[in-house]
Chain A
């Protein structure tokens, strides 16, 4: 079971308010050069099917609701990765009046990857680290879901 979990991380990508730099690098992971499908990872559009949520961009008041909605629809075990410096802390925009900051202001984050934008290798590294977390969460059972609602 845990082997399968490690070999088949389905990735859901959500753009909170990114400048698309990180999004392009995330999508680059699927291209023939990087091809994350060789590790079994596929990009999936449905939160109910996904294992790893990749969030790019800072969180603002509009995307907060959407992001929480997506996160709550994902089934356990699940992992959240903040991709890029904006998703990690708000980056250069962290003082803007309309922003809340990084993804961890909205939902629990397991993996932080900095960079503006991060290299596709770094994003693959985020997925690999996410897989380790997935295995750990899978072993612990579904008990860890309580933290889902803590903002």
Chain B
């Protein structure tokens, strides 16, 4: 893919992510029988946050929030230019670790609980992405994501179980029920606001934008399962996203140990089974 395309993708990702987040809030409201906010509500929120007083507890926090956004953009760049999938996984992990460190750099116990949970979420979800990288290697003989376009058949055909595992970690990555543990977007008073408790003003806005980019990234990973023809992949990603919204609305939050057990049990199990089945 060309350089211009990648730059355009990086710039467009926050807008796309914001629109998807707005769509999520609208659909969630309709599922609950409410009218709901306008689709562009997340943009109102973020612009408002930029206009608010920004306080921070220490400079490390500011640094890590910028690191979260920049490494998220880096991960997206690696994915859009169809680079090595393993490097992408490392960049994504580093971005998420930055968020957790931003939470840990404060003294708020709520922030610490959120960060602890964030670390556990990374621990639960990253191995499945590594398995996906392995599947990529088995299918195309290379870790380069670009190899998928030369494959001639969708990745989903040979690796449906890994696809199921990726759908499982999609919930974890999007921080949605039953795994909305680290930032607690819905049950707003349980751990105040988890990782983002001590963020305010523009720093909260930046972390929100980074989360939109993350949303685009994780949907792009779903897209990779069916890259040719590309519109099937996009439909696949959209369907996964809509399913995620429905799951978010019908599930209660589950315990953190249950999340790790599920992600490792089912995620590892399905991925391993698929890889064994493929190699035999």
Contacts and interface: CB of A to CB of B under 8 A. Distances in A.
B53 to A, nearest CB: 4
A8 B48 contact: yes
B44 A8 contact: yes
Contacts of B199: 48-49
B197 interface: yes
Interface string B30-61: 00111111100101110110111111000000
B35 A35 contact: yes
Nearest to B110: A46
Nearest to B46: A4
B248 interface: no
A57 to B, nearest CB: 17
Of listed B33, B34, B201, residue having the most chain A CB within 10 A: B34
Interface stretch (A18-26, A36-44, A61-69, A115-123): A36-44
Contacts of A46: 188, 192-193, 196-197
B29 interface: yes
A38 B34 CA distance: 8
A48 B36 contact: no
Contact of B37 (A32, A40, A44): A40
A138 interface: yes
B51 A75 contact: no
A40 B41 contact: yes
Interface residues of B, number: 33
A49 B193 contact: yes
A4 B33 CA distance: 25
Contacts of B52: 51, 75-77
A1 B201 CA distance: 13
Contacts of A77: 52-53
B257 interface: no
A40 B22 CA distance: 11
A75 B49 CA distance: 10
Interface string A49-87: 101000000000000000000000001110000000000
B24 to A, nearest CB: 13
B193 A45 contact: yes
B51 A32 contact: no
B197 A37 contact: no
Given A8-B44, A48-B200, A35 B36 contact: yes
Of listed A48, A49, A77, A145, residue having the most chain B CB within 10 A: A48
Given A45-B189, A46-B196, A49-B204, A4 B51 contact: yes
A107 B41 CA distance: 31
B51 A48 contact: no
A45 B188 contact: yes
Contacts of B50: 1
A4 B47 contact: yes
B198 interface: yes
B35 A48 contact: no
7 contacts: A7-B44, A39-B37, A40-B45, A48-B198, A49-B193, A75-B55, A76-B53
Q: Which 7 A-B residue pairings sit nearest by Cβ, starting from the closest? A: A45-B188, A4-B47, A75-B53, A46-B193, A48-B200, A45-B189, A7-B44
